[in-house]
Amino acid sequence: MTILKVVRYVILDVVRNRWVLAYGLFFLAVTDVLLRLGGSGPRAMLSLLNVVVLLIPLVTIVFGTIYWHGAREFNELLLSQPVARGTLFHGLFAGLVIPLSVAFVVGVTIPVLVQRAADGQTTKLLLLLLLAGCALTAVFGALAVLIAGLVDDRLKGLGIALGVWLVMTVAYDGLVLWVAMAFQDYPIEGAMLALSFANPVDLARVLLVLRFDVSALMGYTGAVMQRMLGTPLGIAAAIGGLAAWTIVPGLFALRAFHRRDF
């Protein structure tokens, strides 16, 4: 039961500092504008895709790193009480990821409901978008606590967080582009897919892009990817990949947390 108390406290703390509220309002405004301008639901969802795969990682990793550093004194205080380190860690992590996810989900869902844009197609896309967004929040939340756990200096941690974000959203795609161009004469669809599994941002993006009906334009490549990722099994594998991206950094962060000297 201690863990619930910790989670409750952290959630209250996170929500109190208004960042999360602004984050939720941002999604509310963006979704509302996109629905009004774009007309149809699916097109608005498609525009949201870019926001989701770029902004969620950025905000989560920056906010997470800062928050974790800021919570240090609180952690020291709690650890002087009979609270297990693992419990505190999980409580802190859940307290970080849950409010951000909720802000995102609520912010996106309200305009869709208010404007009655939720036809069958839109609902399906929306659900996948929400799922991918929450998964990315968890992944980058885990990366944030890992960074904060390994680096004591607050500014340095922030710099590393931004670096990680930049690598995953931009630099990594440069590598993918290079591989695709360098080996264009070979059947590399499988390798490309493996590469995208190795980066959570790419994984979420490809998963969403495939759903947004652009798969057919891809010809052979698209067909291969559609067959691997477009099926329920493929989606499950992608979700599994994103889960692995949460659990592995999370475990490292937990280990770092256990080894800390405070």
Partner 1 sequence: MQRVGDALRLAAAGGRVLVKPGLYLEPTLRIERPVTLEGEPGAILDGGGTHTILEIAADDVTVRGLTLRNTGPSQSEERAGIRAAGVRNCRIESNHLDQTLFAIYLADVQDCLVRANIVRGPESAQMVSGNGIHVWSSRQVQVLDNDVRGHRDGIYFEFVSDGHVVGNRSERSARYGMHFMFSNDCRYERNLYLQNNNGVAVMYSKRAEFIDNRFERNWGSAAYGLLLKDINDSRIEGNQFVSNSVGLYLEDANRNRVIGNTFQGNGWALKSLANALDNVYEHNIFEGNAFDVGTNSRSNVSFFRENYWDRYRGYDLDRDGFGDVPHAPVRLFALVVERAPATLILLRSLLVDLLDLAERVIPSLTPETLLDDRPLMKRPERQVSRG
Nearest residue (CB) to partner 1, 90 versus 124: 124
User: Least distance from C-beta 12 to partner 1, angstroms?
Assistant: 34
User: Least distance from C-beta 32 to partner 1, angstroms?
Assistant: 20
Dump the DSSP string for 106-158: HHHHHHHHHTT---HHHHHHHHHHHHHHHHHHHHHHHHHHHHHHH---HHHHH
How far apart are the C-alpha atoms of 148 and 154, rounded to whole Å? 8
Longest Cα–Cα distance in the chain: 62
Contacts of 236 (CB under 8 A, 6+ apart): none
Looking at residue 198, the DSSP 8-state letter turns out to be: T
Nearest residue (CB) to partner 1, 47 versus 123: 47
User: Least distance from C-beta 1 to partner 1, angstroms?
Assistant: 43
Whether 25 and 59 have beta carbons less than 8 Å apart is answered as no
Nearest residue (CB) to partner 1, 72 versus 124: 124
User: Least distance from C-beta 205 to partner 1, angstroms?
Assistant: 6
User: Least distance from C-beta 242 to partner 1, angstroms?
Assistant: 17
Nearest residue (CB) to partner 1, 16 versus 227: 227
Dump the DSSP string for 203-235: HHHHHHHHHTT-GGGGHHHHHHHHHHHSSHHHH
Residues within the interface to partner 1 (CB under 8 A): 43, 49-50, 53-54, 169-171, 173-174, 176-177, 180-181, 184, 188-189, 192-193, 195-196, 202, 205-206, 209, 213-214, 216-223, 225
Q: For the packed helices 19-38 and 2-16, what is the interaxial angle rounded to 10 degrees? A: 70
Nearest residue (CB) to partner 1, 7 versus 192: 192
